[in-house]
Every structure is written in structure tokens, then in C-alpha cells.
Structure 1
Amino acid sequence: MKERIPLEEGDFYFSEEGYKVFTAQYHLKRGYCCESGCRHCPYGYSAKANTRR
């Protein structure tokens, strides 16, 4: 089971549709890329190309 990372201010925001959107700050704290095509992926993953930059 993966470690739960407590959320802090700046880790996410709510989109206009009401979804929780994680920021690059949160992804870096998590420490790995989940390869889900996250909007703010700091690891350079491209869901369209299925590759990392």
C-alpha cells in the first residue's frame, strides 16, 4: 500500500467543474509519476504520446 501524503495549502485547487486538481507542488511531494496525464505533471509525462519528456 502506498503512503498517504497529507494535503497542505497549495497542493490542489478546485476546477470550475468542481474537481480537485493537484498542483505540481503536490506531485513533487508524492515523488513519482502516476502516468495518468495530470494537468500539472512536473515529470513531463504526455498521455497523448505515452512518454515522458
Structure 2
Amino acid sequence: MKRRSGSEPLAPRPLTQPHPSRLAPDHPQRAEILASHAAALEAGQAGYLDPGTGLFVLTAAFLADRGTCCGRGCRHCPYVNGP
């Protein structure tokens, strides 16, 4: 993954792991969502279709490549730190 120079630092977690406030550990579709995200990451795709809503969700890799957090509460935001 190529990140823009001068970009925000990433959160200290793998791109495969979303922040708990964005995808709760007890979310009923967590395993399916994480599998969809992992498949999109592996394929180099920008995102995947959420299994519950059908909405397009951006991957952490795509968001990291942008260089900064947009502040819109993305599920896989790689910049979100804290509880």
C-alpha cells in the first residue's frame, strides 16, 4: 500500500481490525463483515458491499492511501485511536 507523504499516522492496529466503536465485537454480522473486508483487501478493491445493508463500505487500505481521516465515521478508518 502506498501512502501519501505528510499523511496522518495510522492507528496501532492491523488494517484488518476495525476500531471497536465502529464495529462492535458483539455485532451479529461481525464475522461476515470482516470476511468481506478481508476479501476486498486481498483483491485490492476499494471496498465491499455490507452484508446487512448492501451499502458500499471502504476498506482500511483505501482509506489509509487517502492519507487523512475524513471524520465521517468510516467503519474501517485506519486513523481512529482511543476507546
Q: Taking structure 1 as the reference length, what is the TM-score of the superposition?
A: 0.61
Point out where structure 2 has 5 or more consecutive residues left out of the alignment: 1-42
Structure with the largest fraction of strand: 1
Aligned residues, how many? 40
If asked which structure has higher relative contact order (CA below 8 Å, sep 6+), I would say 2
Q: Taking structure 2 as the reference length, what is the TM-score of the superposition?
A: 0.41
Would you identify which runs of 4 or more consecutive aligned residues in structure 1 move more than 4 Å?
Answer: none
Calculate the aligned-residue CA RMSD, in Å: 2.2
Point out where structure 1 has 5 or more consecutive residues left out of the alignment: 1-7, 46-51
Matched with 2:49 is 14
